[in-house]
Structure 1
Amino acid sequence: MIGDETSARDWVRNLPECDDAALQKLEILKESLIEENSRQNLVARQTLAQIWQRHIADSAQLLRHVPRGTGMRWLDLGTGAGFPGLVIAALRPETSVTMVESRNRRIMWLKDMCNALELDNASVAGARLELISEAHCDVISARAFAPLPQLLSLASRFSTPATLWVLPKGRSAAQEVAELKGWHHMFHVEHSLTDPDAGIVVGTLLGQKG
């Protein structure tokens, strides 16, 4: 379990994806987030002292469930401050990451960070998810975006039976999977490395029942 800032940074640094260039990008992201959060509420203020643990490592842990080479087109829904999208793009430059965000100030922040971090593999879809053009993706992530039934209804058109979903769900993960109705799926719950009470829904969506 990742329990503090030092262990969180060390854990990320030891990832196979994390070289010196990626680590520098993540350091810049951390400092930029602290500065920007004084102008707009990107993340909860009480988490600013734990950015490596609560946001960067929390995002990077999703890579444990996505084998390299299998997630070349990654769609991050409701990315907010860029978690996990910016982190994934920094750690996997070979992966094309599209971050969906509808709030104008956050769209501007995300675009500025893509430029500042030189993330040529990252782009921002600045619109409500319902208005985004359909395109099948290899991986779909969503961090605190919507309850699972609503999320699947909104995003299933971007998915194929081969698409991998990785959905940090906090304490509700197991309950949301257990109560999910109306879908054929192969979802299971993995334990979070950054929060002992949190879970990550991982798996594939086969389609609606009926």
Structure 2
Amino acid sequence: MECELIDSEEAARGWLETAFAPTADQWTKLERFVALLVAENEQQNLIAASTIPTIWVRHIADSAQLLSFDTRDGEGLWIDLGSGPGLPGLVVAILSPRPILLVESRKRRCDFLRAVTDEIDLAHVEVVEAPLDRIGTRPAATISARAFAPLDRLIGLSTRFSTESTRWLLPKGRNAVKELALLPEAWQRMFHVEQSRTDAESQILVGDGQIGAKQRGKR
């Protein structure tokens, strides 16, 4: 599906305004998050330094576009796997009141996530510092993962959090179609491919539903 490419910092801000109409408070929180992310990047490698001049395109709009693929109302839990520096989880949390669970196993990154949520007052965000397989199962309305694991492993680890109404939002870059084709047919039928708004060569796998034990065994 073709869409207009967000190709500049100005275009990124314009798209955010059109897509989400952020309040003044939300804009302030986005700006502060960007500042904190850039500052912390000097202490630990959160994002590639080469992407900082285009941070609104490469990281903020790139994360926010996932929310545009799940505009359902309600308070269903959004689980962001391997959240790292809070991408997309913190961006989603700024733009949406939905409860967000950020799953990250690295302590320094979790310390950063907690510091950001405290400073910009994101009380609906929970940070869990643990590998995914050590986290208790809870139903997720949405599961996102920007850079977590190969697709088959990602789904295998996270399917216990899914329900029949779960929306999966999985940016997979240039390899989306290839990774999808390697999955069992039952898994493939859950997903369709969307074009990224921030990279002409990147794609996002958008899926719906739950993979049961019988499906996991079929290839």
Alignment of 1:1-210 (within 5 A): 1-16=5-20, 18-70=22-74, 72-93=76-97, 95-181=98-184, 183-184=186-187, 185-207=189-211, 208-210=215-217
| Contact 1:183 1:206 survives alignment (8 Å) | no
Stretches of structure 2 lacking an aligned partner (at least 5 in a row): none
> Counterpart amino acid of 1:73?
L
Structure 1 residue 6: Cα displacement: 1.1
Distance 2:109 2:21 in 1: 27
* 1:205/1:179 CA distance change after superposition, 3 Å: farther
Deviations 1:150-174 (A, max 9, x none): 0011100000121000011100111
Distance 1:16 1:78 in 2: 25
Aligned length: 209
| Contact 1:79 1:142 survives alignment (8 Å) | yes
Identity %: 44
Between Structure 1 and Structure 2, the one with more strand by share is 1
> Counterpart amino acid of 2:105?
S
Structure 1 residue 17: Cα displacement: 5.1
Cα RMSD of the aligned pairs, angstroms, is 1.4
SS in 2 for 1:46: helix
Distance 1:70 1:169 in 2: 27
Structure 1 residue 63: Cα displacement: 1.5
| Contact 1:70 1:138 survives alignment (8 Å) | no
SS in 2 for 1:140: strand
SS in 2 for 1:14: helix
TM-score (norm 2): 0.91
Stretches of structure 1 lacking an aligned partner (at least 5 in a row): none
Q: After the TM superposition, list the runs of 4 or more consecutive aligned residues in structure 1 that deviate by more than 6 angstroms.
A: none
TM-score (norm 1): 0.95
